[in-house]
Amino acid sequence: MQNNNGPKYYQYIIAAVLIIVGIILVASSLKNDKVELLPEARDATDQTTRVVDATNFEYIIPEDWEFYDNALEDIQSLQDDQIISFGIVRDPIDDNYVYFATHNVFKEAGETLISLYKYNEDDYSFERLWRKTFTIDDENKILDVSPYWPTMHVLGYENHNLIVLFQPVDGSPGPCSSPWLMGWEDRATRNMMSIDLNVPYEGFTEYTPSDEVIDIAKDAVDECEDLM
């Protein structure tokens, strides 16, 4: 006689088969719907790789800079008799850093040394980012301008580039002039250029300021002349 009270193993087999079929169907559905995994991680990557747009078109007059005396004394350790040129610009991203240029004329040798510095106001440390010795010889002129004793003024910062103006070391355009209005329309004795801080020794590129910067500079000149 058949025993109907024993375990019915076929019930467990059917249940297992149904579970496996269910898993296959769910996996197939996810694949067909192209579900994106870990969107938070992707968003984080986008945030870390985006380009930072940072500018600063306001320069400081050296004598008005709080750390002028400290910096002037510190940089003499690399070269005596350096003079900090007009224009000190603060880094818009790391505001404890500033940039400035120096010049040192050796007239007997027919040379002038120009250097570009990055200075840390927190600990008084500094780095010379670029240097070059110029001569009066035509082959050492800055692009195609007329030969002169050059100096370099740091005027602004734009997306990890410094905006600088080359002009004669003894050139004085007047009390109401603005350097932002020089060296881009007429490059005969002045030359506005940019230098990439990532690769400073790759040279300079001619630079023309934006219309907004030009308009602000013109308004400042007009206001100054009205007060004269």
Quick: pLDDT tens for 56-101. Answer: 999 999 999 999 999 999 999 999 999 999 999 999 999 999 999 9
Locate the DSSP E strands across the chain: 55-56, 59-60, 83-90, 97-106, 111-120, 126-135, 150-158, 161-168, 191-196, 204-206
Judging by beta carbons within 10 Å of its beta carbon (0-12, 13-18, 19+), is residue 191 exposed, middle or buried?
Answer: buried
CA gap 170, 80 in Å, rounded: 20
Q: Is residue 181 within 8 Å of residue 217, measured between CB atoms? A: yes
Range with the poorest average pLDDT among 6-15, 99-108, 119-128, 211-220: 6-15
Strand order, beta sheet including 126-135: 59-60, 83-90, 97-106, 111-120, 126-135
Residue 83 CB partners (closer than 8 Å, separation 6+)? 102, 103, 104
pLDDT tens digits along 7-50:
455 555 555 555 665 555 544 544 444 333 333 333 333 434 33
Q: Is residue 81 within 8 Å of residue 115, measured between CB atoms? A: no
Q: What is the pLDDT of residue 19?
A: 61
- Kindly report the pTM of this predicted structure: 0.74
Over the chain, what is the mean pLDDT?
Answer: 81
